[in-house]
A = this chain, B = another copy of it.
Protein backbone atom coordinates (compact mmCIF):
# COMPACT_ATOMS: atom_id res chain seq x y z
CA UNK A 1 0.00 0.00 0.00
CA UNK A 2 1.29 3.48 -0.77
CA UNK A 3 1.71 5.48 2.42
CA UNK A 4 0.08 8.39 0.57
CA UNK A 5 -3.32 6.83 -0.09
CA UNK A 6 -6.42 7.93 1.86
CA UNK A 7 -6.64 4.43 3.33
CA UNK A 8 -3.04 4.68 4.52
CA UNK A 9 -3.75 8.10 6.08
CA UNK A 10 -6.65 6.67 8.02
CA UNK A 11 -4.51 3.80 9.24
CA UNK A 12 -1.60 6.10 10.14
CA UNK A 13 -4.00 8.23 12.19
CA UNK A 14 -4.87 5.12 14.20
CA UNK A 15 -1.30 3.96 14.64
CA UNK A 16 -0.44 3.03 18.21
CA UNK A 17 2.23 4.90 20.14
CA UNK A 18 5.77 3.61 19.71
CA UNK A 19 9.41 4.60 19.55
CA UNK A 20 11.05 4.69 16.14
CA UNK A 21 14.78 4.88 16.78
CA UNK A 22 17.03 6.13 13.96
CA UNK A 23 20.67 5.21 14.36
CA UNK A 24 23.58 5.89 12.01
CA UNK A 25 26.75 7.86 11.40
CA UNK A 26 26.81 11.67 11.51
CA UNK A 27 25.53 12.92 8.15
CA UNK A 28 23.80 9.62 7.34
CA UNK A 29 20.42 11.35 6.88
CA UNK A 30 18.70 10.55 10.20
CA UNK A 31 17.34 14.09 10.69
CA UNK A 32 16.17 14.45 7.10
CA UNK A 33 14.32 11.14 7.10
CA UNK A 34 12.81 11.55 10.57
CA UNK A 35 11.62 15.09 9.73
CA UNK A 36 9.99 13.80 6.55
CA UNK A 37 8.33 10.95 8.43
CA UNK A 38 7.08 13.46 11.01
CA UNK A 39 5.51 15.51 8.18
CA UNK A 40 3.77 12.44 6.85
CA UNK A 41 2.42 11.45 10.27
CA UNK A 42 1.28 15.01 11.01
CA UNK A 43 -0.44 15.14 7.61
CA UNK A 44 -2.38 12.06 8.75
CA UNK A 45 -3.20 13.81 12.07
CA UNK A 46 -1.08 11.36 14.05
CA UNK A 47 0.70 13.09 16.90
CA UNK A 48 4.40 12.47 16.89
CA UNK A 49 7.61 14.13 17.98
CA UNK A 50 11.20 14.12 16.79
CA UNK A 51 13.50 13.66 19.75
CA UNK A 52 16.73 14.96 18.27
CA UNK A 53 20.07 14.01 19.78
CA UNK A 54 21.55 17.45 19.11
CA UNK A 55 18.61 19.23 20.77
CA UNK A 56 18.82 16.98 23.83
CA UNK A 57 22.51 17.78 24.15
CA UNK A 58 21.63 21.48 24.45
CA UNK A 59 19.21 20.80 27.29
CA UNK A 60 18.70 17.57 29.22
CA UNK A 61 22.22 16.26 28.46
CA UNK A 62 24.14 19.50 28.42
CA UNK A 63 26.20 18.25 31.39
CA UNK A 64 27.53 15.36 29.27
CA UNK A 65 30.45 15.13 26.86
CA UNK A 66 31.36 12.63 24.16
CA UNK A 67 33.32 10.00 26.07
CA UNK A 68 31.98 6.44 25.83
CA UNK A 69 30.50 6.73 29.35
CA UNK A 70 28.81 10.04 28.58
CA UNK A 71 27.45 8.75 25.27
CA UNK A 72 25.99 5.77 27.11
CA UNK A 73 24.38 8.04 29.72
CA UNK A 74 23.02 10.32 26.99
CA UNK A 75 21.55 7.28 25.25
CA UNK A 76 19.98 6.15 28.54
CA UNK A 77 18.36 9.52 29.17
CA UNK A 78 16.97 9.82 25.65
CA UNK A 79 15.53 6.30 25.92
CA UNK A 80 13.86 7.18 29.25
CA UNK A 81 12.39 10.38 27.79
CA UNK A 82 11.16 8.45 24.74
CA UNK A 83 9.50 5.94 27.06
CA UNK A 84 7.68 8.71 28.96
CA UNK A 85 6.55 10.24 25.66
CA UNK A 86 5.31 6.89 24.37
CA UNK A 87 3.49 6.53 27.68
CA UNK A 88 1.91 9.90 26.88
CA UNK A 89 0.57 8.46 23.61
CA UNK A 90 3.06 9.91 21.16
CA UNK A 91 4.91 8.28 18.31
CA UNK A 92 8.47 9.32 19.11
CA UNK A 93 11.07 9.54 16.38
CA UNK A 94 14.48 9.41 18.06
CA UNK A 95 17.17 10.77 15.76
CA UNK A 96 20.56 10.15 17.34
CA UNK A 97 23.89 8.58 16.33
CA UNK A 98 23.58 6.14 19.28
CA UNK A 99 26.74 4.30 18.29
CA UNK A 100 26.69 1.45 20.82
CA UNK A 101 24.80 -1.82 20.31
CA UNK A 102 24.47 -2.46 24.05
CA UNK A 103 22.92 0.94 24.72
CA UNK A 104 20.45 0.61 21.86
CA UNK A 105 19.49 -2.79 23.21
CA UNK A 106 19.00 -1.27 26.67
CA UNK A 107 16.71 1.30 25.12
CA UNK A 108 14.65 -1.47 23.51
CA UNK A 109 14.16 -3.22 26.85
CA UNK A 110 12.25 -0.17 28.18
CA UNK A 111 9.44 -0.81 25.70
CA UNK A 112 6.80 -3.45 25.16
CA UNK A 113 7.43 -5.97 22.35
CA UNK A 114 6.92 -4.31 18.97
CA UNK A 115 6.87 -0.83 20.51
CA UNK A 116 10.53 -0.15 19.69
CA UNK A 117 11.50 0.01 16.02
CA UNK A 118 15.21 0.27 15.28
CA UNK A 119 15.92 1.95 11.94
CA UNK A 120 19.48 1.64 10.66
CA UNK A 121 20.24 4.65 8.45
CA UNK A 122 23.07 2.89 6.65
CA UNK A 123 24.93 5.49 4.64
CA UNK A 124 28.59 4.50 4.06
CA UNK A 125 31.20 6.55 5.90
CA UNK A 126 32.73 7.84 2.65
CA UNK A 127 29.36 9.24 1.57
CA UNK A 128 28.67 10.78 5.02
CA UNK A 129 32.08 12.41 4.89
CA UNK A 130 31.45 13.70 1.37
CA UNK A 131 28.16 15.29 2.53
CA UNK A 132 29.53 16.54 5.88
CA UNK A 133 26.52 18.84 6.47
CA UNK A 134 27.93 20.33 9.68
CA UNK A 135 31.61 20.29 8.69
CA UNK A 136 32.34 17.88 11.55
CA UNK A 137 34.25 15.31 9.49
CA UNK A 138 36.55 18.03 8.12
CA UNK A 139 37.22 19.28 11.64
CA UNK A 140 37.85 15.75 12.90
CA UNK A 141 40.25 15.03 10.01
CA UNK A 142 42.13 18.25 10.85
CA UNK A 143 42.39 16.99 14.43
CA UNK A 144 40.22 19.83 15.78
CA UNK A 145 37.48 17.49 17.00
CA UNK A 146 37.92 14.44 19.20
CA UNK A 147 35.61 11.46 19.72
CA UNK A 148 33.99 11.85 16.30
CA UNK A 149 31.91 8.78 15.51
CA UNK A 150 33.27 7.07 12.40
CA UNK A 151 36.70 8.71 12.73
CA UNK A 152 38.17 8.13 16.19
CA UNK A 153 35.07 6.82 18.00
CA UNK A 154 33.41 3.52 17.08
CA UNK A 155 30.06 3.06 15.40
CA UNK A 156 28.60 -0.39 16.01
CA UNK A 157 26.20 -1.11 13.17
CA UNK A 158 22.96 -2.90 14.08
CA UNK A 159 23.11 -6.63 13.35
CA UNK A 160 19.35 -7.09 13.01
CA UNK A 161 17.65 -3.71 12.67
CA UNK A 162 13.89 -3.73 12.29
CA UNK A 163 14.31 -1.53 9.21
CA UNK A 164 17.48 -1.19 7.14
CA UNK A 165 17.69 1.94 4.99
CA UNK A 166 20.26 2.75 2.29
CA UNK A 167 19.89 6.49 1.75
CA UNK A 168 22.78 6.63 -0.74
CA UNK A 169 20.80 4.32 -3.04
CA UNK A 170 17.27 5.68 -2.47
CA UNK A 171 15.69 9.10 -1.91
CA UNK A 172 14.58 10.22 1.54
CA UNK A 173 10.99 9.93 0.27
CA UNK A 174 11.56 6.30 -0.67
CA UNK A 175 13.14 5.63 2.73
CA UNK A 176 10.03 7.06 4.42
CA UNK A 177 7.82 4.84 2.25
CA UNK A 178 9.85 1.85 3.43
CA UNK A 179 9.19 2.84 7.05
CA UNK A 180 5.49 3.46 6.43
CA UNK A 181 5.19 0.06 4.75
CA UNK A 182 6.70 -1.49 7.87
CA UNK A 183 4.41 0.45 10.23
CA UNK A 184 1.30 -0.43 8.21
CA UNK A 185 2.24 -4.08 7.63
Contacts and interface: CB of A to CB of B under 8 A. Distances in A.
Size bracket of the A interface: 10 to 19
A51 interface: yes
A88 B41 CA distance: 13
A148 to B, nearest CB: 25
Q: Count copies of this chain in the complex.
A: 2
Contacts of A84: 49, 51, 55-56, 59-60, 81, 85
Contact of A80 (B47, B59, B110): B59
Interface of A: 47, 49, 51, 55-56, 59-60, 77, 80-81, 83-85, 87-90, 110
Given A59-B83, A60-B84, 18 more contacts: A47-B47, A49-B84, A49-B88, A49-B89, A51-B84, A55-B84, A56-B84, A59-B84, A60-B77, A60-B80, A77-B77, A81-B81, A81-B84, A84-B85, A85-B88, A88-B88, A88-B90, A90-B90
